[in-house]
Structure 1
Amino acid sequence: MPLSATRSKHRFTVEYPINASPKILYPYLATASGLSHWFCQQVRTDPQHHFIFTWDGQDHHAELTSQRTNRSARFVFLDKNHRHAPDANYLDFTIESSELTQEVFLRVIDYSEETDDIELQEMWDNLVQNLREQVGG
């Protein structure tokens, strides 16, 4: 049995207030150019419209499988052959706004093999701080 088939997955969810409108925030979550400003070393797209995320010099291919303009984007990571895999890792970004308070929140769902919630919290805290610096919020 391949090693990857024996690993269990973990769903980590975190929410952050963001002082920016959904219209300003959304391109930073759903476009290669926006993501490359805060999320990883580089993000680009290939001819099949897959996103290629580069961390520590390694490429990770993903597909934007669902999106709602100014609301949400989900990236499902592909296997080493750039195909969909069962129980694939994914990232889900959702922008929520309160009509009452006008506050905007970013909810992140990180579904992967990483199970250390403290490490994930620190990583996302740092990433979202980078994002806030980009959007001015």
Structure 2
Amino acid sequence: MATLSMSNKKLFTADYEIHASIKMLYPYIQTASGLSEWFADDVTINNEDKSFTFFWDNEAHKAKLAAFRTNHFARFEFLPENKDDEKDPSYFELRLEFNDLTQSVYIKIFDYSDFDDQKELNDLWHGLVETLRKTVGG
């Protein structure tokens, strides 16, 4: 009898207002050099397969840019580390939105992973976005 493995992954979402233009912010969410300034210790691109490698605490995590729309969003899917990941990959998406009513720019975070401490994840993203704000002056 086959057993089905259920994913323990959860989707975390958050919105943060940033005082900067979307055109200025976009390179920070889609390019290796931009992401390495606030999101990871370092980010590199393999030119052959176009995969991104994110470095945190000397650990490498490979991802591919799964989808993007210039000046709107970038979605990175982590490459599978096991069978469950192949069927249900972890990803994060960074989306830039403009609110016409308030004339404000927001970065919307989608983080789909098996990270189970939602408060810690919220604190992590809050800290990352604060670093982004300082980097862009917004």
Q: TM-score, normalised to structure 1's length?
A: 0.91
Residue pairs, 1:21-100, within 5 angstroms: 21-46=21-46, 47-80=48-81, 85-100=86-101
Partner AA of 1:19 in structure 2: H
Alignment-derived partner of residue 12 in structure 2:
12
Offset at residue 100 of structure 1 (A):
2.5
1:102-124 per-position Cα deviation (integer Å, ceiling 9, x unaligned): 10000000000012111011000
Gaps of 5+ in 1: none
Instruction: Give the SS at the match of 1:79.
Output: coil
1:57-97 per-position Cα deviation (integer Å, ceiling 9, x unaligned) = 1110000011011110000000249xx72111000111110
Please say if 1:109 is aligned against 2:110: yes
What CA distance in whole angstroms lies between the structure 2 residues aligned with 1:133 and 1:28?
12
Root mean square deviation of aligned Cα: 1.5
The residue type paired with residue 20 of structure 1 is A
How far apart, CA to CA, are the structure 1 residues paired with 2:135 and 2:23?
A: 14
CA distance in structure 2 between the aligned counterparts of 1:89 and 1:80, rounded to whole angstroms: 10
Q: Which amino acid aligns with 1:79?
A: P
* Match in the other structure for 1:130: 131
- Structure 2 gaps, min length 5: none
Runs of 4+ in 1 over 2 A off after TM superposition: none
TM-score by length of 2: 0.90
